[in-house]
Amino acid sequence: MTDQEQPHRRQQLVVVGHGMVGHRLVEAAIERGLTETHDITVLGAEARPAYDRVALTSFFEVGAKALNLLPRGRYDDPRVSLRTGVEVVAVSPRQRIVTLNTGEDMHYDELVLATGSYPFVPPVPGKDLDNVFVYRTIEDLEAIRKAARKARSGAVIGGGLLGLEAANALSQLGLETHVVELAPRLMAVQVDAAGGRTLSRHIEALGLSVHTGAMTEAILGPDRAGRVTGLALKDRKALDVDIVVFSAGIRPQDALGRAAELVVAERGGILVDERCRTSEEHIYAIGECAAPGGVMYGLVAPGYAMAEVVVDTLLGGEGTFEGADMSTKLKLLGVDVASFGDAHGTTEGALELTYADDVAGVYKKLVIAEDPEDGTRRLLGGVLVGDASAYGVLRPMAASGLPLPDNPEDLILPAGGGGGVALALPADAQVCSCNNVTKGEIEAAVDAGCETAADVTRQTRAGATCGSCKTQVKKIVEDHFAAQGRTVDRSLCEHFPLTRAELFDVVLIHGHRTFDQIVEAHGTGRGCDICRPTVASILASQLNGHVLARENRTLQDTNDAYLANLQRNGTYSVVPRIPGGEITPEKLIVIGEVARDFGLYTKITGGQRIDLLGARTEQLPAIWRRLVDAGFESGHAYGKALRTVKSCVGSTWCRYGVQDSVGLAIMLELRYRGLRSPHKLKGGVSGCARECAEARGKDFGVIATEKGWNLYVGGNGGAVPAHAQLLAGDLATEDLVRYLDRFLMYYIRTADRLQRTSTWIDQLDGGLDRVREVVVDDVLGLGTELEAAMAQHVDCYVDEWTATLEDPDKLARFVSFVNAPDLPDPAISFDTARDQIVPAPAAVDLGASIPVGAGR
């Protein structure tokens, strides 16, 4: 019986490969309803589900979990089955069967090959030695990290996109790093000679060695352990390295197709038509294993486009793959690099307009075509190195063929950026090349109810992959609102028609000191759980008053109201401040004695502090008294304030340390302790580039250099991790503190409620560049004012635990029941695990709520 005679039989779609492209195909199939007629089986050779290879280098900061594209390890649609760690060893097109390495045969009606590519390793003598790696998977990075622990220096063979990412990884691991490139410049495919020179200068300024036009002759070794001892270069001095990483390009993983006798392109890759169908009717190929029109695309965006085409075809649509935008924008070793359109000016009659600033390390080039009939000039492509802020406008402008303005140089000159051009982009201009989202689709999402750029990203995926178009998406959303005469309501809540930043300024200007004064003058009603804690934070930032002062104590949420963190069973945790993680044996003994005497659970936190959990409300003052008498103070683990400044042992102890990271961390933590802010703040100080304090995962991070300190800002962990970005480098301690004072006060004054520094920077007009202008360049003339505000905070600091212990009025609230102050809460009970107390399973999970009848 034929398929046509069985119209109700569910079709079996098998997808071989679960990388980013295979995952996107399944997502598209679910979104567009293909699973109504098809059962989908996905077979992934890697043990992991799909993960973000575009952000592979960030693995060292965020770990594998943060890169996972399928956090639950399965799809919500029950008609999709994912099997990882399974390899397809053969395809039989006539029988429509795939054979697995387990010996199992699996039938398919339609088959999609999404097997990706593999790293090319040239036949160099010594390539099989230990400590020679490729740079492709998380497992590769784990192996490199393990080897780096016993290595001093490394070399990356290949200076393309992935090669520079690999060099960044070695540098992050603290290795002296060399980049060896056969071509006469770095990123030869994307940038021209001048752009390559600018990029090389940037990278060498960061301490890496660049060797262009260099041919690798052999990998030297082995030593006694079978490992690399060096790298021999033709006509050049050999490099003394312990690790070698190959990143010399990729090759399509087309072995399955070849074995199944599918037609293969001349230069590799399974040949497919405009519908991504192979020479066999029921077999498709997408991503890096495919060669549409004989061309193999090595970027994720074309793979995503192919995935969409296949799903459309299986649904009976007419979509076709007609080539792909190979534009790229990324930050390599902290350097912005972008290339779009005809970047090398290969079009006949192309003209070049360039801007170069060798001092600032900026190079920009526009490739322009002029119509001989009417003189209209259009953008064909371009290169941006050192400053890629205009990429979001220039790339869609080149793709759409929009006429250039009369003065196209304004698009790349420092005062330019093409902001006004965004309005003129046609609706079909592609804004997000990764997910093929047009300006019209973004505006349609706004019309359908999206109120913010973040809403648009969730709805359309624009900016969700590489992130290079996020600024442009935000600009389009804002322009669309402006064109409609609409505004986005950014009011704090229904009681205040102001943003948090506007409310901060109102309180500062009018000198209000209580919530009642503020709401009477600028709001309505009695407040809510949004505006009351926000006002409390603003007042604490400006007045440096105690959070339990009588006029403002009712504004605090549960944790601030009790100067401790509420736990799931109604008890609290106590975290004393241990600046920089440095503590004397005597103080350690006191903490141990307090934990023992009060029967508390003890745990060392990720921020180098000791957490004492399980304290009842009425026990808190007694615990504080013991700790305060021993010289401790509140660690503010309960507040939207500075939590910790983490440090490594630095030059005092470490053989790699170049500065006293512990001393600086202690100084900074003591300076900023108690600083109330829109969200919690965390800092870190590392004594060398090995980054043991994980400073680039903090709201502000400091890393020692031979010349001083590098200051990074805007990092955080949590549900949406962010990597801190370099604000200023090689700073003297005095300059570092001055810039940090300004940065923190600028953030406190202008950020939204519960907005982390990373999100705040992203949403500022100009992003990090704007922060640098205000903090370092002082373009607003606010530097002195911001520094004075911080000085006032430092001068007025009072430990909140000590102030509470000295005030009978404040102490009166620390009882379980106001009508029975000596009675402990009978609902609190414990079990024992690993020789410590833990909440009993029957305990009520309070979250952040408070039981009725309790005096909290």
pLDDT tens per residue, range 27-81: 999 999 999 999 999 999 999 999 988 888 778 777 888 889 998 899 999 999 9
Extract the tokens encoding 596. Answer: 């023992």
How do 836-839 and 830-833 pair as beta strands? Answer: antiparallel
- Is there a binding annotation on residue 528? no
Extract the tokens encoding 797. Answer: 């600091």
Measuring CA to CA, which residue among 503, 559, 494 is closest to residue 526? 494
User: Predicted confidence band at 332 (pLDDT cuts at 50, 70, 90)?
Assistant: low
CB neighbours (10 Å) of residue 54?
A: 18
Asked if residue 392 is part of any domain, the answer here is: yes
Write down which residue in 192, 224, 248 finishes a domain: 248
What's the mean per-residue pLDDT of the chain?
86
User: Predicted confidence band at 843 (pLDDT cuts at 50, 70, 90)?
Assistant: very low
Q: What is the pLDDT of residue 362?
A: 85
CB neighbours (10 Å) of residue 171?
A: 20
Q: Do 476 and 334 fall into the same domain?
A: yes
In angstroms, the CA 518 to CA 511 distance is: 10
Residues 6+ apart with CB under 8 A from 629: none
623, pLDDT greater than 80: yes
Residues 6+ apart with CB under 8 A from 366: 352, 353, 354, 379, 381, 382, 394, 408, 411, 412
Q: Do 470 and 336 fall into the same domain?
A: yes
Among 33-42, 811-820, 829-838, the least confident range: 811-820
Write down which residue in 459, 484, 509 finishes a domain: 484
Q: What is the pLDDT of residue 679?
A: 92
Q: What is the pLDDT of residue 418?
A: 47
User: How much of the chain exceeds pLDDT 70, in percent?
Assistant: 91
Residues 6+ apart with CB under 8 A from 561: 547, 548, 553, 813, 856
Asked if residue 356 is part of any domain, the answer here is: yes
How do 110-113 and 283-285 pair as beta strands? Answer: parallel
Asked if residue 716 is part of any domain, the answer here is: no
In angstroms, the CA 672 to CA 738 distance is: 12
The amino acid sitting at 303 is G
User: Predicted confidence band at 108 (pLDDT cuts at 50, 70, 90)?
Assistant: very high
415, pLDDT greater than 50: no
Asked if residue 322 is part of any domain, the answer here is: no
392, pLDDT greater than 50: yes
Extract the tokens encoding 483. Answer: 């064109």
pLDDT tens digits, one per residue of 292-312: 989 898 888 899 999 999 999
Q: Do 35 and 182 fall into the same domain?
A: no
Q: Do 102 and 157 fall into the same domain?
A: no
CB neighbours (10 Å) of residue 164?
A: 27
User: How much of the chain exceeds pLDDT 90, in percent?
Assistant: 46
CATH number where 309 lies: 3.50.50.60
CB neighbours (10 Å) of residue 246?
A: 25
Q: Do 307 and 228 fall into the same domain?
A: no
Q: Do 366 and 478 fall into the same domain?
A: yes
Q: What is the pLDDT of residue 553?
A: 63
Q: Which domain holds residue 457?
A: 328-484
How do 216-220 and 209-212 pair as beta strands? Answer: unpaired
Q: Greatest CA separation found in the chain?
A: 93
Q: What is the pLDDT of residue 659?
A: 93
Extract the tokens encoding 518. Answer: 């503020």
479, pLDDT greater than 80: no
The amino acid sitting at 132 is V
In angstroms, the CA 134 to CA 244 distance is: 8
- Is there a binding annotation on residue 654? yes
Write down which residue in 265, 287, 314 finishes a domain: 314
Q: What is the pLDDT of residue 284?
A: 97
Counting the structural domains of the chain, the total is 3
Q: Do 38 and 142 fall into the same domain?
A: no
User: Predicted confidence band at 1 (pLDDT cuts at 50, 70, 90)?
Assistant: very low
Asked if residue 604 is part of any domain, the answer here is: no
Q: What is the pLDDT of residue 852?
A: 30
Extract the tokens encoding 305. Answer: 């486009």
182, pLDDT greater than 60: yes
- Is there a binding annotation on residue 688? yes
Q: Which of 55-59, 617-621, 660-664 is modeled with the greatest confidence?
A: 660-664
Assess contact for 74 and 36: CB atoms under 8 A. no
Asked if residue 283 is part of any domain, the answer here is: yes
Among 17-21, 199-203, 558-562, 812-816, the least confident range: 558-562
DSSP3 helix / strand / coil % (the chain, rounded to 5): 35, 20, 45
Extract the tokens encoding 120. Answer: 């090319």
Assess contact for 542 and 675: CB atoms under 8 A. no
The amino acid sitting at 429 is A
Asked if residue 605 is part of any domain, the answer here is: no
User: Predicted confidence band at 856 (pLDDT cuts at 50, 70, 90)?
Assistant: very low
23, pLDDT greater than 90: yes
User: Predicted confidence band at 419 (pLDDT cuts at 50, 70, 90)?
Assistant: very low
Q: Do 361 and 453 fall into the same domain?
A: yes
Residue 847 phi, psi (nearest 5) = 60, -120
CATH number where 459 lies: 3.30.390.30
Q: Do 229 and 149 fall into the same domain?
A: yes
- Measured CA to CA in angstroms, residue 613 lies from 575, 600, 815 at distances of 9, 5, 17
Q: Do 473 and 336 fall into the same domain?
A: yes
Q: Do 137 and 198 fall into the same domain?
A: yes
Asked if residue 779 is part of any domain, the answer here is: no
- Measured CA to CA in angstroms, residue 708 lies from 225, 247, 574 at distances of 37, 33, 36
462, pLDDT greater than 50: yes
185, pLDDT greater than 80: yes
Q: Do 475 and 374 fall into the same domain?
A: yes
Inter-helix orientation angle 161-172/138-148, to 10°: 40
634, pLDDT greater than 60: yes
Q: Which of 362-376, 394-408, 486-500 is modeled with the greatest confidence?
A: 362-376
How do 377-385 and 362-370 pair as beta strands? Answer: antiparallel
SS3 label, residue 76: coil
Which H or E run contains 532?
helix 531-543
Assess contact for 338 and 391: CB atoms under 8 A. yes
Rounded to 5°, the CA angle 436-17-60 comes to 80
